[in-house]
Amino acid sequence: MKIGIFGYGNLGRGVEKAVLKNNDTELVGIFTRRDPSSISTLTGAPVYSANEVEKFKDIIDVMILCGGSATDLVHQSPSLVSLFHIVDSFDTHAKIPEHFATVNAIAKESGKIGIISCGWDPGMFSLARVYSEAILPDGTDYTFWGPGVSQGHSDAIRRIEGVLDARQYTVPVPSSVELAKSGSRPTLTTREKHTRDCYVVAKEGADLKKIEKEIKEMPNYFADYDTTVTFVSMEELKEKHASLPHGGVVIRSGITSEGNNQTIEYRLNLDSNPEFTGSVLLACARAATRLAAEGVKGAKTILDLPPSALSPKSPEELRAHSL
């Protein structure tokens, strides 16, 4: 399958690396809104201006969109699905129905498939929730994120006056994870589920106490959590906090009859969040080509894709060796 990457940040590079691991895949080009000549790619794949994308209408099977949800995907997904099958990682949970409807209308018209909201949450974690709830209707779901870097929370700290750079780790509270698995089906508050660890580089002479207070009291982001703030040098941040690990666990604890607890746990432990997300997007791109070959069009999510469609193996091979 011939793919394009639209947007070349961390996620775009993650998809590029995933192409190297999937030998049924050819990367035709990377599309950017920056000056293409300013970009050197990891694999030497050609870089084109985003304005040129229409020329690739008959060359690229699936365009994988690697922009952010808020300002990029809301526009890019509807626009590009008029030309290509697309896969995106739209992750503003509350706006998924609206995004789905927009992409669906255009994709039905263009005869393309638009698989939205792929990745791990939404994505693999959504799958874990839906399968588990279907099997254990009398149960309770728990999703814990981390330990891992939250880009949104790191950005929120960076916007505080006097802050040069920051990295925020979301950390599940181990005793709460154990409690969720215990079968007691506890109600856990936001504060009980996660703590937030912040590593902050301040400008010289900045008021550290004030920065710490502003972080800890920031509504939505930190106020409801037990937050620790550690000031570090720029060198230390770059040395010790450069990578983007993440992960988490989805737990469903339910009963099938009085006294018979059943627990399902789906856990990810990721050294690189963007590379893992990129790998999920690539597997979904494969599913897009499979469904397209059957005449399917319109918007889909990972919940609509037969699992076998994500695999490079044939259904016969899967039944013989993986079932």
Task: Catalog residues that contact a second copy under the rule CB under 8 A.
Answer: 14, 17-18, 20-22, 93, 96-97, 100, 117, 122, 124, 126-127, 129-131, 133-138, 181, 256-257, 259-272, 275-276, 278-280, 283, 286, 301-308, 310-312, 315-316, 318-320, 322-323
Q: Which residues contact 208 (CB under 8 A, 6 or more apart)?
A: 202, 231
Counting runs of H as helices and runs of E as strands, what totals does the chain give? 11, 14
Taking the complex as a whole, the smallest distance from the CB of residue 269 to a second copy amounts, in Å, to: 4
DSSP letter assigned to residue 235 = H
Among the listed residues 275, 262, 239, 229, the one whose alpha carbon sits nearest the alpha carbon of residue 42: 275
Using the minimum distance from each CB to a second copy, give the nearer residue, 99 or 196.
99
Taking the complex as a whole, the smallest distance from the CB of residue 140 to a second copy amounts, in Å, to: 14
Taking the complex as a whole, the smallest distance from the CB of residue 14 to a second copy amounts, in Å, to: 7
**List of E strands, 80-225:** 85-87, 113-115, 139-145, 148-149, 163-172, 194-202
Taking the complex as a whole, the smallest distance from the CB of residue 192 to a second copy amounts, in Å, to: 22
Strands in 226-231's sheet, in edge-to-edge order, are: 148-149, 163-172, 194-202, 226-231
Among the listed residues 276, 251, 153, 271, the one whose alpha carbon sits nearest the alpha carbon of residue 193: 251
Using the minimum distance from each CB to a second copy, give the nearer residue, 232 or 287.
287
Using the minimum distance from each CB to a second copy, give the nearer residue, 10 or 228.
10
Using the minimum distance from each CB to a second copy, give the nearer residue, 58 or 294.
294
Peptide bond between residue 97 and the one before it cis (omega within 30 degrees of 0)? no
Using the minimum distance from each CB to a second copy, give the nearer residue, 203 or 313.
313
Taking the complex as a whole, the smallest distance from the CB of residue 154 to a second copy amounts, in Å, to: 19
